[in-house]
Copies of this chain bind each other. A is one copy, B any other.
């Protein structure tokens, strides 16, 4: 086993690279580039040429689009083990969205040509990859539909529960985004996000200290998210 290669112990390996044959893992490791990013860094911008297939080893990033007037729309927030590359990576030549870093991150990049070459050779790998990418795309679609059908209170409750339950797995957490970014995520104005948070605080559903949030009444928040 090649001592230079760190992929043997990568947490991602068990996720889907287990299907790699030894020599493929070797190729993978030799070619991959791991890049550390700081909060606020741009990973790539909409329109950039797609050169790498990339996934998130650690940290938190946001996927977003900017419209001509400069208003951003957040597509989703991705955590460790999520891919930064979505399905478009195999059908597009240029990025259809931008990615920036919310919490210091390490992103592993694999040359897209190399990735396709391995995919052509190894059916198990490709099928695993398709399952994983499919599952993520499915999640994004369903999340978008869930957000769309909610009103302001339900939207804010939904997104706070996402942070609490899916991302931080804790009732107390530090918001990785500003109120404005929450608004860009769920499609409201910044003022109404702030107002809704204030209302939840006054009703003792939340404790708020700047970006630190504690969900005091989970059941009530779930009720608001589902029927609010």
Contacts and interface: CB of A to CB of B under 8 A. Distances in A.
Interface of A: 65, 67, 73, 75, 86-92, 96, 116, 119-124, 126-127, 129-135, 137-138, 140-142, 144-145, 147-149, 187
Nearest to A128: B90
A141 B144 contact: yes
A134 B135 contact: no
B91 A135 contact: yes
Contacts of A138: 86-88, 91-92, 96, 137
B124 A123 contact: no
A126 B187 CA distance: 36
A24 to B, nearest CB: 12
Nearest to A227: B69
7 A-B pairs with least C-beta separation: A87-B134, A120-B123, A91-B135, A137-B137, A91-B131, A144-B144, A88-B138
A140 B87 CA distance: 12
A89 B141 contact: no
17 contacts: A65-B145, A67-B149, A87-B133, A87-B137, A87-B138, A90-B130, A92-B135, A96-B142, A119-B123, A120-B124, A122-B123, A123-B126, A126-B126, A140-B141, A141-B141, A144-B145, A148-B148
Contacts of A134: 86-91, 133, 137
Contacts of A75: 141, 145
